[in-house]
Amino acid sequence: MKIKARFIGCACLFISYALLSGCNPNKTLKLPELMTLSVTEVTQTTAKSGGQIISNEGGMILAKGICWDVTSNPTIDNFKTNDGTGDDSYESILMNLEADKTYYLKAYAKNEQGTSYGNELSFTTSSSDNKGQIIADHRIIKDFEKIPSVYIAEVKKMMVWFPGESHSYAYRDGMELLEALYPTFDCNVQWGFQSYTSTRLRVTGWPTEGIGEQYWYTWKAYDPGSLPPASTTFKTYIKENYDANKPISLMGFAWCYDMVHINGPTATADPTLGVHWYGASVGGPDGNRPWGIDAADNAQTGNRVNLATYLAATEDYISYCASNGYPTKIVFTTHPVDAYTGEGGYQVYLKNEAIRNYVDLDATRILFDYADILCYNDESETPNTTTWNGHTYPIITSTNGSPITTGHISNAGAIRLAKAQWWLLARIAGWDGK
């Protein structure tokens, strides 16, 4: 009798606990209900969407993201992102899209009961007919060996210059590493002036080391009598080379630590993008401070220097060369992606995306997408990614990042940069890329 009473007592306790805890052993698990978020920031190759979990009665969300395809009703068996777990809303970046093509997408979420999908949306990527715009990114690496011999010969008449600090070494050392693998692509790497030759591509650096971002885009910061304004310094170098019959064919800024290092984060987050700005405006009018994308961010950073300053300075160099008849092509470049993860890495991604979007607005602008090139491996068409606060963004691959040998990246990464440089120079020489 005591045993029976004890059993009944335990049963009552279990039932009471179940009622209090909301546990119902007979409750039917349900698939998640979710909504696909609007598609934004559509380019030729990328787009942004996401999902919102409306209800979930099937245990923990085990996986979520966006799936897409070129036909209606996509599933996770097609292309998809993986944006973590949990019931919170999420943002997804769709990559490796094709230009001028319609895609269909749905948000998806998986719980213990299975996988369900949100409403279907569609979008069309930007057109590829942007007048032959030259963009050197991961997509062109495979075309490096397609460069016709006639254009290899034309490139060997050129001189290329990517001034910068430590990361700039990867641009130059990569060219020598590539030559060791492919002797046809021979070059001469040295600091300062180089005599004209038609037999070897000339790759140069600034006559002295340590040319950082203050020499490129914060040139308005210098007072008279101090260092010469960087715009004057760079323009003089272009002119001197041209006058000496040693014209620079290609010039672009080799970013170093500028977007994330030294300063950050700001005390106030960007009200739209939700990120605290990082970076250093060395020599800027307001000191070494973080900086954002445009003037709207100046209130958060306390800094009048922003990404628009870099874009304006680059346009100034382009105008200078065009107005003086110099053959020098000025290219826009993206920032390194090594060692930058978390919020700092994400705001670097936002700044790089702003550069890409700016270049996309004008078919005459040229982009060397340093960041994108290093987020892929030779054998992969899928970028290496990480996540911060629900935002998925690309970062450098392990093979491109280590072992570190030059410019904070590996030999493999430097060689990829070199292949992209040769491709870019061949396009400038007149090759159609086909």
Domain ranges of the chain: 33-124, 135-428
Q: Give the residue from 240, 233, 232, 169 showing the smallest Cα distance to 203.
A: 169
**What local confidence, expressed as pLDDT, does residue 21 receive?**
40
Q: At what angle do helices 307-324 and 230-243 cross, to 10 degrees?
A: 30
How far apart (Å, rounded) are the C-alpha atoms in residues 398 and 312? 34
Topology adopted by domain 33-124:
Immunoglobulin-like (2.60.40)
Residue 379 CB: number of other CB atoms within 10 A?
6
Structure tokens at 250: 């290609």
Q: What is the pLDDT along the chain (434 residues), one digit of tens a residue?
A: 444 444 444 444 444 434 444 445 556 888 999 999 999 888 878 889 999 999 998 889 999 999 999 999 999 999 999 899 999 999 998 988 888 889 999 999 999 999 999 999 999 887 654 446 899 999 999 899 999 999 999 999 999 999 888 899 999 999 999 999 999 999 999 877 777 777 899 998 765 444 555 556 544 444 444 555 667 778 888 898 899 888 889 999 999 888 887 677 898 999 999 999 999 887 777 878 899 999 999 999 998 889 998 898 889 899 999 999 999 999 999 999 997 889 999 999 999 999 999 999 999 999 999 999 999 998 877 899 999 999 999 999 999 999 999 999 999 999 999 999 999 999 999 998 88
Bridge partners (DSSP) of residue 21 are none
Side-chain half-sphere exposure of 234, counting CA atoms within 13 A: 29
Q: Give the residue from 234, 343, 221 showing the smallest Cα distance to 282.
A: 221
Looking at the domain that runs over 135-428, which CATH code has it been given? 3.40.50.1110
Preceding amide of 290 cis, omega within 30: no
Phi first, then psi: what are they for 352, rounded to 5°?
A: -60, -40
CB 105 within 8 A of CB 49: yes
Question: CB neighbours of 390 closer than 8 A, spacing ≥ 6?
Answer: 83, 84, 88, 89, 90, 91
